[in-house]
């Protein structure tokens, strides 16, 4: 199998540090897997962990053939490597299209759909249907790896954080913003996410790239299903109760569970609850498989607590429907959808450290990307932006809190909306100093974490 030809292949190298970090994830996986099958598991949390971290801090500048890193693993589990390789190809080709210079957003989206079709037609393709994550993480061996090797598991989930957080960074944002955005994303990855051993569950694409997951739910689901397959394999290899023959059998079963052919003819949103063929998803999130303890409207996000994915993360008012959107906020390792620029700014200001706001303007072809430093000073990719912000009822915040690409666009909006005839345009320098705090409409869902024991309440 060979990746789909196109001028965008390896455009990830337009952001060199991003490319290097992604190449490093393959090396990290390979070193750990080879250790697990060559009798070196007792060194995983010690010298092997140290060697992986050394590679991740000094990643390769070119992609490395994993077969050169894990020859024993590949000979023993060749079919698994084919599934991994083909899904990783989907990762890199999707990134390549989004990072490609010279194409419109419409051209990129059309090509990503063709890439998904090309990927799906191969026998090693992973299903794009949402799968029940609680079921897939509920086998007798589940949790063995993260319990025995928490530091290495932290690295694995750190890789998956990077592999899912990057899509909203790239999706419908100008290519000239990708490098500055990755300075924030990459720093978070290298300094925090790689060494996070407190995460209750693996990162999910819909958590970290909600706009991309909404637009391409099948691709988002396939990435999550791939990462769950990684977790299943990790746990099987870490289980002493299984013989080598049994491990090979269980890995083949784990592959079968996530293959597209296994779920052929099935439909997203349907299926038998709490089974392998459970394809439910929370309202508004077809790119998110059913999570532990989830309901149709609520799911638990590691580090954030219980969230309603149809609501603004800051004011709890229902998000715009269809193609309309307000903004997203990326900070402290998470990305949340919000309704308006006030919600975006104030939510970002509540966090410590750098943040990224990606927002809709009056021009669908111009996405605003704001990047803040630790002091809350924002820089913009659109130099002439002005803001509308008036005090009114919060349920209508996406009407009275907006950003415009220019004063001319602002004036045109005011002319069409006489209720705001007295409003004055606000420059970025003034806008960033404002903070209205938590709105009265905000609703915190106080339920215990489904991953905690003894009634402990999560974050």
pLDDT for residue 64: 87
- Per residue in 187-233, pLDDT (tens digit) is 999 999 999 999 999 999 999 999 999 999 999 999 999 999 999 99
**Mean pLDDT of all residues in 304-331:** 92
Strands of the sheet containing 334-338, edge to edge, are 334-338, 327-331, 355-359, 368-372, 378-380
Average pLDDT, the chain: 94
Residue 91: pLDDT over 80: yes
pLDDT for residue 391: 83
Task: Quote the percentage of the chain above a pLDDT of 70.
Answer: 98
pLDDT for residue 182: 98
For residue 145 the two structure tokens come to 């790896």
DSSP run (H or E) holding 29:
helix 16-37
Helix axes 49-57, 16-37, angle to 10 degrees: 170
Strands (E), 282-385: 299-301, 305-307, 327-331, 334-338, 355-359, 368-372, 378-380
- Per residue in 2-52, pLDDT (tens digit) is 899 999 999 999 999 999 999 999 999 999 999 999 999 999 999 999 999
**Mean pLDDT of all residues in 340-353:** 94
Task: Quote the percentage of the chain above a pLDDT of 90.
Answer: 90
Q: Which residue has the tokens 């991953």?
A: 451
Residue 327: pLDDT over 70: yes
DSSP 397-432: HHHHEEEESSHHHHHHHHHH-GGGTT---B-HHHHT
Look at residue 1 and give its three-state secondary structure.
coil
- Per residue in 276-314, pLDDT (tens digit) is 999 999 988 999 999 999 999 999 988 889 999 899 999
- Per residue in 430-459, pLDDT (tens digit) is 999 999 999 999 999 999 999 875 434 333
pLDDT for residue 304: 85
**Mean pLDDT of all residues in 402-429:** 96
**Mean pLDDT of all residues in 396-403:** 94
DSSP run (H or E) holding 112:
helix 105-120
Strands 299-301, 327-331: pairing is unpaired
Residue 343: pLDDT over 60: yes
Query: Rounded distance, CA 31 to CA 51, Å?
Result: 9
**In angstroms, how far is the first alpha carbon of the chain from the final one?**
44
Q: Which domains does the chain have, with CATH numbers?
A: 11-263 (no CATH), 313-431 (3.30.450.410)
- Per the model's pLDDT, the better-predicted residue between 357 and 284 turns out to be 357
Q: How confident is the model at residue 420 (pLDDT cuts 50, 70, 90)?
A: very high
Q: Which residue has the tokens 């954080």?
A: 161
Which residues have a Cβ under 8 Å from the Cβ of 401 and sit 6 or more positions away? 340, 341, 342, 343, 387, 388, 389, 390
Q: How confident is the model at residue 110 (pLDDT cuts 50, 70, 90)?
A: very high
- Cβ(211)–Cβ(325) below 8 Å: yes
Question: Exposed, middle or buried by CB within 10 Å (0-12, 13-18, 19+), for 376?
Answer: middle
- Cβ(125)–Cβ(4) below 8 Å: no
pLDDT for residue 99: 98
**Could you tell me what percentage of the chain is helix, strand and coil, using 3-state DSSP and rounding each to the nearest 5?**
50, 10, 40
**Mean pLDDT of all residues in 332-352:** 94
Query: Rounded distance, CA 41 to CA 48, Å?
Result: 9
Residue 177: pLDDT over 90: yes
pLDDT for residue 302: 87
Query: Rounded distance, CA 354 to CA 337, Å?
Result: 17
Computed on alpha carbons and rounded to an integer, the radius of gyration of the chain in Å comes to 22
pLDDT for residue 284: 82
**Mean pLDDT of all residues in 155-168:** 97
pLDDT for residue 453: 53
């Amino acid at each position: 199998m060979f990746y789909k030809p196109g001028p965008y292949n390896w455009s990830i190298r337009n952001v060199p540090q991003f490319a290097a970090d992604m190449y490093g994830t393959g090396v990290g996986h390979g070193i750990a897997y080879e250790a697990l099958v060559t009798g070196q598991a007792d060194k995983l949390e010690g010298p092997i962990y140290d060697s992986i971290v050394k590679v991740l801090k000094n990643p390769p500048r070119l992609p490395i053939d994993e077969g050169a890193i894990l020859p024993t693993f590949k000979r023993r589990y060749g079919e698994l490597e084919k599934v991994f390789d083909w899904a990783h190809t989907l990762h890199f080709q999707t990134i390549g299209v989004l990072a490609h210079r010279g194409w419109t957003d419409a051209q990129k989206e059309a090509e990503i759909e063709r890439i998904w079709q090309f990927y799906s037609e191969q026998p090693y393709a992973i299903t794009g249907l949402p799968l029940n994550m609680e079921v897939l993480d509920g086998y007798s061996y589940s949790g063995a790896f993260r319990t025995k090797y928490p530091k290495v598991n932290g690295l694995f989930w750190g890789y998956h954080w990077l592999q899912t957080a990057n899509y909203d960074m790239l999706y419908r944002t100008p290519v000239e913003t990708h490098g500055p955005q990755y300075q924030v994303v990459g720093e978070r990855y290298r300094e925090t996410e790689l060494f996070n051993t407190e995460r209750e569950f693996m990162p999910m694409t819909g958590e970290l790239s909600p706009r991309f997951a909404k637009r391409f739910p099948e691709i988002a689901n396939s990435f999550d299903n791939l990462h769950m397959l990684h977790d299943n394999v990790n746990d099987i290899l870490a289980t002493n109760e299984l013989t080598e023959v049994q491990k090979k059998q269980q890995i083949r079963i784990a592959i079968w569970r996530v293959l597209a052919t296994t779920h052929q003819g099935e439909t997203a949103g349907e299926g038998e609850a709490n089974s392998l063929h459970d394809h439910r998803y929370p309202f508004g999130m077809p790119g998110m498989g059913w999570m532990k303890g989830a309901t149709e409207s609520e799911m638990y996000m590691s580090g954030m607590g219980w969230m309603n994915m149809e609501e603004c993360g800051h004011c709890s008012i229902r998000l715009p429907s269809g193609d309309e959107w307000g903004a997203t906020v990326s900070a402290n390792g998470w990305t949340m959808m919000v309704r308006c620029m006030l919600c975006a700014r104030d939510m970002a200001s509540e966090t410590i450290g750098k943040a990224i706001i990606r927002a809709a303007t009056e021009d669908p072809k111009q996405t605003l990307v704001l990047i803040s430093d630790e002091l809350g000073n924002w820089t913009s990719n659109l130099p002439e932006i002005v803001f509308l912000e008036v005090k009114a009822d919060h349920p209508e915040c996406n009407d009275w809190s907006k950003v415009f690409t220019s004063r001319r666009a602002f004036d045109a909006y005011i002319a069409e909306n006489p209720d705001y005839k007295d409003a004055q345009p606000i420059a970025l320098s003034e806008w960033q100093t404002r903070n209205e705090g938590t709105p009265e409409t905000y609703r915190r869902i106080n339920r215990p974490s489904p991953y905690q024991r003894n009634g402990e309440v999560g974050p």
